[in-house]
Structure 1
Amino acid sequence: MAAKAKIVSIETIKPSTPTPKHLRDLKLSLLDQLIPHQIYFPLFLCYSHHDINNAFGGTGDHFSIISQKLKTSLSHALTLYYPYCGKSLKDNISIDCNDMGVAFIESKVHVKLSDILNNPKLELLVKDFFPFDPFNFDEQPEANLAVQLTQFSCGGIALAVPFDHKVGDGSTSGYFLRAWALLATGQGSLIEAPQIETSLLYFPPSRNIPNINFRDVISKEELASKVCHVVNLRSLIDPPLPEVTRGNLIVHSLSPSLELKGEVGLHDFAEMARKAVIRVDKDYVSKFVVDGIIKVVEEMKATKEEGVPVYTFTSLMRVDFYGIDFGWGKPTWVGTVGRRRMKNAVMLFPTRDGEGTEAWITLSKVDMVQFERNPELIQCLVWRLSLDGVTTLSNLARRGVLGCNIQPLVSSSKVEKWISRQLHGL
């Protein structure tokens, strides 16, 4: 990709209805407080020119119509999800929901969308198509959300949206996008209103947060390894919370250490994964809600201090990112971008047809070189891009043009176990 996106306009989008004064000081839940400051979840949604032309009934430049529709519907979406147009305070206690608005950037680039997707370069995706670099702390604005809409020469578009993790997890981001899309298509009545403050009832904030950064687990050469699963708590709390409950309703569940003695097989890693997941049941969560959260934090801290390598898995397989239709079809591709700051991390995304699994893997540069040379990985890998220790894998049975029918090489339920086996040999 030789061409650089050119910014053509910058506008601040504010909520269609001002946030009432009694809602402007939103306290963070304890789980929100545990998320490090200035950690973003960047999403990149691509829409093909074929779908856009079909939606508008012919070829032509539909960019201005698309942009205006997105701006208008975003304004209404921010009325529902008002924390996104505020500012996360550095005291780690609250969000100032001051209706400061969201930056909406329009840009154009003289390359085709297919050129980007067929030969993606992660550093350029961040530099050219995002409103700011979500992984550069020195240059980040104090924004909970920003949007950049880019038009490609073919007529396709990309929507880049970095979400402040303090405001919510992947589920919250997904429901925000769904509400935004429903408003854009005149289906606002189908929106399930978000529960902005419910999580505070279960996890009230604290002024005594342990000094632990979940994204700074340091790997050393040890004869042990753990698998850490990020588990959604919403369905496990009694009574269950709706998925539209805003916030970071997640817990990190660690498997017992696995000693590297003798032959280590897939069943060993399956057992690690099983133990990490089954321990997070309703009884566990009930104790966790009452007084166990600090114990989990201390467990992570102890693991960090021991130097035990921890491989963290986050699954977004149940978040319907490919259902985000603003009125011109479903996305051709949805993904995140590189240079994630968490070591030894695996993020799982669904493929467009819902049958496959795409994995984003972050390792140290040394480990990544060894990982990418793994013979079994090379046999399975069909699509790959790598930068500074970031690799994305798509387990496809065959490669084709954008929007082709995709079948997985292995079932989605086995992807995590398979990756665990490859990582454990590092």
Structure 2
Amino acid sequence: MQLDVQVISEQIVKPSSPTDDRLRRYQLSFLDQQTPLLYNAMVYFYQKICNIEANKITIFDRLKHSISNALTCFYPLAGRIMEDQLFVDCNDEGIPFLEARVKCQLLDVLNNPTPKELNKLLPFEFHVSGTDAEHVLLGIQFNVFDCGGIGIGICISHKIGDALSFFSFVNIWASIARGETNLIVPEFKSASLFPPRAIPEAPQLKKEQIVTKRFVFGATKVEEIRRKYGENASQKRPSRVEALSAFIWDRFVTAFGLRSRPDTLCTIIHAVNLRARIDPPLPGSSFGNLYSLAVTIPSMDNNIVTQIRDSFKALNSEYVKKLQDGNDHLKYFRERTNYAKGEILTFGFTSLCRLPMYEADFGWGKPIWASSVDRQIKNVTTFMDTINGDGIEAWIALNEEEMAKFDCDEELLAYVNNPKSLQR
């Protein structure tokens, strides 16, 4: 459904205390450098907490003051990326905090979520290169529905942090809002672990006519897919993400007849958290782009799950050490694709499953849904836990023509639980 969203105010929220001069120049890491300029973004939905005007004012003020306090812990987020994109000027300039009214019931969105429309609940465009927001690292939009439900739309620049960094900020902000004082403060040392270096500017993603659709796989269907792809796997039973990646890849290959296109080199890429793979392991509170890419060059003759798993295993402590010593984490990909005879087709996966996505309690309970948005990146699937934690939502982005074919695949749809309504 189309959303009528009207922004009624915009403020700049600054840290509650000034950043120490010794911390003013925050250096980006090598992995930050290689990350394109776009936002990690989500919307958190809560029911009927703003059903009277006084509640709206109270909750808005609580969020505003707690943001200010959270920015003292996450001081780089209140600064601005410098022109060279190598440093953040931690100048306490502050972050945009918008208030908006949504002319519908929250239940209307939950029963028929449309990814493109959900972007209206965010403070920024998803792709920011060349816009006024290009150097802003964080923005928040407080959306109030006619029924009193709210949606908190949050954008954090991917240039400074990955998905786990995103959740670290949101959950500490929520802890501050509900009055907690025993906080796990973030660690900002990624540049010391992965020192910056002279490399070409990170590629900027093209804005294309992309369609994002949300497919829900319930717990029973996920288990069926795991059994299906575990039958011929040479090792342990596949994880949910391994099995669903293989299944979606197979449906993509079938929909576009890739098996009959021998000159097309196919690659599967998974974003992988490096915190547990570095020696010694890093805590989850470590802030930055602490991830790398597991690259699979799929062979149609071998079990795809085994190939994906092997690409994950290659990102071990030895691999991380090479990254720290200066190896390009895209070197393997470039070496394998340099000899491609024809088209190179890349399909990417990123998983937010098992991350603390539903912990954002600002004092009125946990969200009834945490949603992704239309990320506008071609051939990318984002996995997220359903609200009950058993099933998986797959947010899949393809161009319009490809999505029309993919969305009609009978085997895909046989495993999908009502792809429109929210599965609780």
Kindly report which structure 2 residues correspond to 1:229-240, keeping only aligned pairs within 5 A, or say none: 229-240=270-281
Q: Report the secondary structure of 2:323's partner residue.
A: helix
Distance, in Å, in 1 between the alignment partners of 2:336 and 2:63 is: 45
**What amino acid is the match of 1:46?**
F
Selected match of 2:162 from 142, 163, 169: 169
Local SS of the residue matching 1:363? strand
1:180 corresponds, among 167, 173, 196, to 173
Shift in alpha-carbon separation, 1:89–1:253, aligned structure 2, 3 A: same
The structural deviation recorded for 1:320 is: 1.0
CA gap of 1:339–1:165, structure 2 versus 1, over 3 A, is closer
Which residue of structure 1 lines up, in the alignment, with residue 11 of structure 2? 11
Aligned residue among 336, 345, 351 for 1:309: 345
CA separation of 1:175/1:2 partners in 2, compared to 1, >3 Å: closer, same or farther?
closer
Residue in structure 2 matched with residue 80 of structure 1 by the alignment: 73
1:135 shift after superposition: 2.6
How far does the alpha carbon of each residue in 1:242-272 deviate from its partner, in whole angstroms, 9 at most, with x for none? Answer: 11111000001112x2244xxx6xx722112
Matches within 5 A, 1:234-273: 234-255=275-296, 257-260=297-300, 268-273=303-308
Distance 2:316 2:292 in 1: 11
Could you tell me which amino acid in structure 2 is paired with residue 348 of structure 1?
F
1:338-373 Cα deviation digits (max 9, x unpaired)? 1423x2211111111211111111222222222111
**CA pair 284-145 structure 1, distance change in 2 beyond 3 A:** same
Counterpart residue identity of residue 153, structure 2: A
Structure 1 residue matching 2:64: 3-state secondary structure: helix
Aligned to 2:366: 330
Partner of 2:321: 286
Shift of the 300–88 alpha-carbon distance from structure 1 to 2, 3 Å rule, reads farther
Contact 1:225 1:258 in 2 (8 A): yes
2:348 is the alignment partner of 1:356: no
Identity %: 33
Match for 2:61 among 63, 68, 87? 68
CA distance in 1, matches of 2:355, 2:373: 17
Cα-to-partner distance string for 1:216-261 (whole Å, 9 max, x where unaligned): 7x99964442221211111111111111111000001112x2244x
* 1:300 paired to 2:339: no
Per-residue deviation at 1:2? 5.8
1:89 offset after TM fit, Å? Answer: 1.6
In structure 2, distance between residues paired with 1:111 and 1:244: 37
Aligned length: 367
TM (norm. structure 1) is 0.80
Distance apart, 1:4 and its partner CA: 1.9
Shift of 1:109: 2.3
1:10-409 correspondence runs (5 A): 10-37=10-37, 39-49=38-48, 52=49, 60-61=52-53, 62-127=55-120, 129-135=121-127, 137-141=129-133, 142-189=135-182, 191-196=183-188, 198-206=189-197, 208-210=198-200, 213=203, 222-255=263-296, 257-260=297-300, 268-292=303-327, 294=328, 296-302=329-335, 306=340, 307-341=343-377, 343-384=378-419, 406=424
Secondary structure at 2:303's aligned position in 1?
helix
Unaligned ranges ≥5, structure 1? 54-58, 386-398, 407-426
Which deviations, in whole Å up to 9, do the C-alpha atoms of 1:54-87 show, x marking residues without a partner?
xxxxx63421111111111110100000111111
Retained in 2: the 8 A contact 1:132–1:139?
Answer: no
SS at match of 2:267: strand
Give 1:291 deviation, angstroms.
Answer: 3.2
3-state SS, counterpart of residue 149 of structure 1: strand
Q: How big is the shift at 1:212?
A: 5.6
8 Å Cα contact 1:179-1:188 kept in structure 2: no
Partner Cα distance (1:308, 1:226) in 2: 8
Q: Distance in 1 between matches of 2:335 and 2:320?
A: 21
In 2, Cα distance between equivalents of 1:380 and 1:136: 36
Rounded to whole Å, the distance in 1 between the matches of 2:46 and 2:130 is 31
Whole-Å separation in 2 of the counterparts to 1:277 and 1:95 = 32
* Separation (CA, whole Å) in 1 of partners of 2:137 and 2:380: 23
8 Å Cα contact 1:324-1:331 kept in structure 2: yes
Letter in 1 for 2:379: N
Change (3 A) 1:211 1:179: closer
Which has the higher mean CA deviation after the structures are superposed, 222-231 or 364-373? 222-231
Q: 1-side partners of 2:379 and 2:166: how far apart?
A: 23
Amino acid of the structure 1 residue aligned with 2:194: F
Aligned-partner residue type, residue 332 of structure 2: E
Q: Distance in 1 between matches of 2:3 and 2:288?
A: 38
Q: Secondary structure at the match of 1:9?
A: strand
Query: How much does 1:299 deviate?
Result: 2.9
Query: Once the 2 structures are TM-superposed, how far is the Cα of residue 304 of structure 1 from its aligned partner?
Result: 5.9
Give SS of 1:258's match. Answer: coil
Secondary structure at 1:108 match in 2 = strand
Q: Counterpart amino acid of 1:345?
A: V
- For residue 323 of structure 1, give the secondary structure of its aligned residue in structure 2: coil
Q: Is 2:5–2:103's contact at 8 Å kept on the other side of the alignment? A: yes
- Quick check: 2:268–2:298 contact (8 Å CA) kept in 1? no
Tell me the equivalent position of 2:228.
Answer: none
Aligned-pair Cα RMSD in Å? 2.4
Q: Which amino acid aligns with 1:238?
A: D
Contact 1:168 1:248 in 2 (8 A): yes
RCO greater where, 1 or 2, for CA within 8 Å and sep 6 or more?
A: 2
Cα distance change on mapping 1:277 and 1:3 into 2, 3 Å = closer
